[in-house]
Amino acid sequence: MEHYELRVLLRYLHTGTQTANTPAKPSPKDVVGELERDEVAEAVFGGIWSPVTGAGVAEALKKIIPVPDGDKYGQYISLSGIRDSVMLPPKERIWAGRLFSFGKPMSCDPLLSTTLKYSNSLTLETLAGATDITQDYLIVIFGFVYKMSELPGPFLNRDNPEGLMLFPTEIRDKARNRVIPIVKDAIPISGATWKKLPGGPDQSVPKINPFVRYAYNKKATDGKSGDYEFRYDIGNVEESEEELYFDFGKTDVLIVEGLGIRAPAHLQKTAMKIGGDYHPKGLFPTTQYNNPLHFGWAYPMFPSDIPLYYAIPSLNSLGSKPLVICNEKGALVTQDDGTAIAANSIIACLTGVRVEMTG
């Protein structure tokens, strides 16, 4: 029964200096991330204790990427570990919102079962930003481990007595009154098929994975309340893993489930813009002190000496519905209040589910 209990899958304590712009690449053994030969696991959520100096200065733990079974998942998961914009804050210190998770464990629904699935090991890669990290930091990932002989036991229920991943399925886009089919044969859940399930590295198409990433505005805003798109091809973000602009054909889908904004002075509004339409129509107000999309360190919503955090807000918690980008252009956009905002002052993030019908 111990394999049905939530447990630590990875624990990485970094000590000493991490030089600016350099990665740390601990082995699975270093992070206690190895499984036994007869085990598989699914990673569900995590916590990041960010590096902060004794004087209260946040240090630049710029990026964290999970590496299940030796596969870097940066195209799907790219996490900020800086205190101000930390995307997986310690669960016990979250003030508002629900902790972001990679998916729902022990689920047979392909669009919910997007936990990271692996059968050998889990580790991660971190990247220091433009300045050295001198303080310790801690990253922990939690999830479930199963003996192969136990499968599909944890996934059985009255509606699914055979223990199948319930393909085919469909995406219902209420905003556009459309249904997008995901056509695939049902998959028996077993040790042999584990990495072929959603969230696994050996999926056949259609592939379904969790999606979460952050972005900075690499350029200043226009000072005219125009849309700022976090778009890589025009140099509005630093790298492709910060891309929050999606030009999709019929074979690519992104279900947008959550949005986050760290708002500086003179930021006014934020929205998803899909097919030329804003969602919500009036855009979210995201001023420095009135920001329903606030995430990370609770300041400035709370005094700076209170160690609380906000989770990345879900669209459901904001009274909205998940949004779907498919066969159209979609982007997270922000607007200033008529005064330009300096580069690297806005921090945005997006969570959801990525579906790839080909490739």
pLDDT at 1 over 50: no
Average pLDDT over residues 124-145: 98
What are the domain boundaries of the chain? 2-150, 208-356
Dump pLDDT digits (tens) for 44-57.
Answer: 999 999 999 999 99
Domain spanning 2-150 has what CATH number?
2.60.120
Architecture of domain 208-356: Sandwich (2.60)
Domains 2-150 and 208-356 agree in fold: yes
Dump pLDDT digits (tens) for 238-297.
Answer: 999 999 999 999 999 999 999 999 999 999 999 999 999 999 999 999 999 999 999 999
pLDDT on residue 299:
96
Average pLDDT over residues 152-180: 95
Average pLDDT over residues 61-80: 98
pLDDT at 343 over 70: yes
pLDDT at 2 over 60: no
Confidence label for 3 from pLDDT (cuts 50, 70 and 90):
low
Model-level pTM?
0.96
pLDDT on residue 203:
98
Neighbours of 307 (CB within 10 A): 15
Dump pLDDT digits (tens) for 194-231.
Answer: 999 999 999 999 999 999 999 999 999 999 999 999 99
pLDDT on residue 212:
98
Dump pLDDT digits (tens) for 10-67.
Answer: 999 999 999 999 999 999 999 999 999 999 999 999 999 999 999 999 999 999 999 9
Average pLDDT over residues 149-165: 96
pLDDT at 96 over 80: no
| 260/254 Cα distance (integer angstroms) | 16
Average pLDDT, the chain: 96
Amino acid occupying residue 287: T
Average pLDDT over residues 284-313: 96
